[in-house]
Chains A and B, each alone.
Chain A
Amino acid sequence: MSQSNTVIMPGETTRTRPQRTSYARQEALAGIVFAAPWLLNLLFLTLIPLGASLYFSFSEYQIVRAPVFWGTRNYVTLFTNDRLFIKSLWNTVYMVLLGVPLRMVLGMGIALLMNTKVRGRALFRTMYYLPSQVSGVAFAMLWGFLLNPQYGVVSNVIWSFGVRPPLWLADPLWVKPSFVIMSLWGVGGTMIIWLAGLQSIPEVFYEAAEIDGAGRLRRFASITLPLLSPTTFFVLVTGIIGTFQIFTQAYVLTAGGPADASLFYALYLYQQAFQFFKMGYASAMAWVLFIMIMALTLLQLRLARSWVYYEAER
């Protein structure tokens, strides 16, 4: 900046003060100018929409007519008079309860395997990671084909053992487990995060424990798990948030069926907004989702104090 060339005479306090503040002001101005694109985004694409959707959620709004404020009716209907809403909530919770733990165990298991000294590790790591790069739609197409009840390869393999396979996506009881099985194929994405966590654990801890006579299991329980807990926490929180927003596979493969057994929260929200054009009702759903995610995350942050170990704290 040009100010840096100004020579400041000793004792000239009255002159230097305004100089310095104008420098600071220029710097602040430059900072805000550079940050401006995001500030505009925050205002027009986040804050104003946030306020608008809150207002819509308390309104009757069927897109063709302007929204009419009608209090909490959308919310009351959601929880007392909408069987499908409750069903979609349950379907989503089911996916969280079954899918998140399975993906965590599998992802950590593969990461532990990848962390041992095996030949060709880079190749194997790529093999496990690659499926997570496939787009939701292609992913869905592929698995819809693999799980086809008539000629799908998975069913054929099960038949070859003399066992009758389920109808997968066509069976209300099996459609959610089928989606969980599919999601396991994409577990490589979190595997990489686990692996990074594992490799940040200093080797000396294991050596010291070994000298003290700790066995393999003991070392895993007393060193690996506690030191990995920030990663575990991250994977858990993002896993739950992600599962609450599951959409593409169900939209593409089952459209919520059969018998609404795969009508997940985000899918039902989409249907209300863009198929039935009930923008007010869908906004209320969005806010319920937002509050649930916030509450769950805060709860987990709270619980994390007792089981997540941050090295910097000690």
Chain B
Amino acid sequence: MAVAEGKMASRVEPRPRAFHQRPMRYIVGRVFIYLLIIVGGAVSMFPFVWTLMSSGKSVWELTAFPPTLFPQEQIFIENYTRLLTEVPFLVWIRNSAVVTGLNLLGAISSAAIVAYGFSRFQFRGREAWFFIMLTTMMLPGEVTLIPQYLIFHALGWIDTFNPLIVPAYFGGGAFNIFLIRQFFLSIPRDMDESAEIDGANPFQIFFKILLPLSKPVLATAAALGFIGNWNSFMGPLIYLNSPRKFTATLGLRYFSMGATAATIEIGSLQPMENLLMAGSLIVAMPCLILFFVAQKYFVQGIVTTGIKG
């Protein structure tokens, strides 16, 4: 990974003419840099740690002054069991998994097919179509949102997962097509031409040659797509109405409303901030785990599309 090893060693060392001062200045500089990085990293991690700790506290301890970092009663198991039994959290997570899985399947397979068309075949207006595709990436979703809603409404798809899944099967989004096309272009055409001479048809070339070689870019598209789908909020908010069909993000928000509304209405009822923190962590967890598992694919995707795009 390029990002992992920047070769900056010579630059960090001070210039030779300050030789007699070198150790002191060098050490002070290093200490300063490490201090900055460690403090910054701690600040960056603190919300996670605090949330995790809060999810194991009682409501009483949560609002106590002075605040505690480590929960005194340590009711982690009790809190998480309550969350999963009293609130349909497992259903919401299953819904998110279904939507994300089916969406990704369609998005990646159809993006790969379209990218194949754009990278391996010559047809009239190909460059123009490709340019149009790139410009649609800049189109704010709000402009097409209302008519799309009306289309799905006319199809009777409101309060179903269809609006969140089916569109992905039509090209999988300009971003994915672009990502995969760039990768296909880097695969030498000799490969498919020799297969063609051996009598392979375009489908065989696609499935037997290009796809197996493209696993890294497909993994990148899947990793980025997973995060986008799992975390998406506006789509589910607009299309899903009944609580049992909610995705995890929507459910979390629904649950939080319940918590606060109940607190306002019945003064004696405890706010369930501890459960809310547990829920937030559960919703965030799949993405955090995925990042640890597939770190290099994330970095790769961000680098190719961020810089060359």
Interface pair A137/B249, CB less than 8 Å apart: yes
Confirm or deny: B15 has a beta carbon within 8 angstroms of a beta carbon on chain A: yes
Q: How far is the CA of A153 from the CA of B69 in the complex (A)?
A: 10
Can you give 25 contacting A-B residue pairs, CB < 8 Å? Answer: A4-B196, A31-B117, A39-B129, A46-B136, A49-B144, A49-B151, A53-B144, A56-B146, A133-B290, A136-B233, A141-B256, A141-B279, A142-B277, A145-B51, A150-B63, A151-B63, A189-B302, A200-B307, A203-B7, A241-B138, A248-B234, A279-B146, A279-B150, A286-B142, A294-B138
Q: Report A8-24 residues with CB < 8 Å from chain B CB.
A: 24
Q: How far is the CA of A192 from the CA of B234 in the complex (A)?
A: 26
Confirm or deny: A115 has a beta carbon within 8 angstroms of a beta carbon on chain B: yes
Total chain A interface residues with beta-carbon distance under 8 A = 102
Residues in B whose Cβ lies below 8 Å from that of A56? 146-147
Confirm or deny: A289 has a beta carbon within 8 angstroms of a beta carbon on chain B: yes
CB distance from B179 to the nearest CB of A (A): 14
Q: How far is the CA of A28 from the CA of B124 in the complex (A)?
A: 7
Interface pair B140/A134, CB less than 8 Å apart: no
CB distance from B86 to the nearest CB of A (A): 18
Q: A275-314 CB contact bits vs B (8 Å, 1 = yes)?
A: 0000100110111011001100100000000000000000
Q: Which residue of B lies closest to A245 (CB)?
A: B140
Residues in A whose Cβ lies below 8 Å from that of B244? none
Stretch touching chain B among A76-84, A88-96, A116-124, A164-172: A116-124
A114, A141, A192, A203, most chain B CB atoms within 10 A: A141
With A151-B67, A290-B139 as known contacts, state yes or no: A41 contacts B167, CB within 8 Å. yes
Confirm or deny: B217 has a beta carbon within 8 angstroms of a beta carbon on chain A: no
Q: Report A30-85 residues with CB < 8 Å from chain B CB.
A: 30-42, 44-46, 48-50, 52-53, 56
Q: How far is the CA of A266 from the CA of B147 in the complex (A)?
A: 16
Stretch touching chain A among B32-40, B76-84, B261-269: B32-40
CB distance from A153 to the nearest CB of B (A): 6
CB distance from A300 to the nearest CB of B (A): 12
Residues in A whose Cβ lies below 8 Å from that of B113? 34, 37
Which of B34, B170, B196, B249 contacts A138, CB < 8 Å? B249
Q: How far is the CA of A32 from the CA of B125 in the complex (A)?
A: 10
Q: A202-241 CB contact bits vs B (8 Å, 1 = yes)?
A: 0100110010000000000000000000110010000001
Confirm or deny: B24 has a beta carbon within 8 angstroms of a beta carbon on chain A: no
Interface pair A113/B40, CB less than 8 Å apart: yes
Q: How far is the CA of A146 from the CA of B36 in the complex (A)?
A: 23
Residues in A whose Cβ lies below 8 Å from that of B277? 141-142, 145
Q: Which residue of B lies closest to A122 (CB)?
A: B4
Confirm or deny: A97 has a beta carbon within 8 angstroms of a beta carbon on chain B: no
Interface pair B291/A133, CB less than 8 Å apart: yes
Q: B267-309 CB contact bits vs A (8 Å, 1 = yes)?
A: 0000001001101110110011011100100110011001101
B117, B136, B142, most chain A CB atoms within 10 A: B142
Confirm or deny: B12 has a beta carbon within 8 angstroms of a beta carbon on chain A: yes
Residues in A whose Cβ lies below 8 Å from that of B9? 117
Q: A151-B65, A290-B142 are in contact. List 6 more A-B contacts (CB 8 A).
A: A1-B196, A28-B123, A28-B124, A137-B231, A146-B47, A151-B67
Confirm or deny: A177 has a beta carbon within 8 angstroms of a beta carbon on chain B: no
Confirm or deny: B99 has a beta carbon within 8 angstroms of a beta carbon on chain A: no
Confirm or deny: A188 has a beta carbon within 8 angstroms of a beta carbon on chain B: yes
Q: How far is the CA of A68 from the CA of B67 in the complex (A)?
A: 59
Confirm or deny: B114 has a beta carbon within 8 angstroms of a beta carbon on chain A: yes
Interface pair B252/A35, CB less than 8 Å apart: no
Confirm or deny: B238 has a beta carbon within 8 angstroms of a beta carbon on chain A: yes
Q: How far is the CA of A211 from the CA of B66 in the complex (A)?
A: 57
Q: How far is the CA of A199 from the CA of B133 in the complex (A)?
A: 30
Interface pair A115/B6, CB less than 8 Å apart: yes
Q: Which residue of B lies closest to A159 (CB)?
A: B65
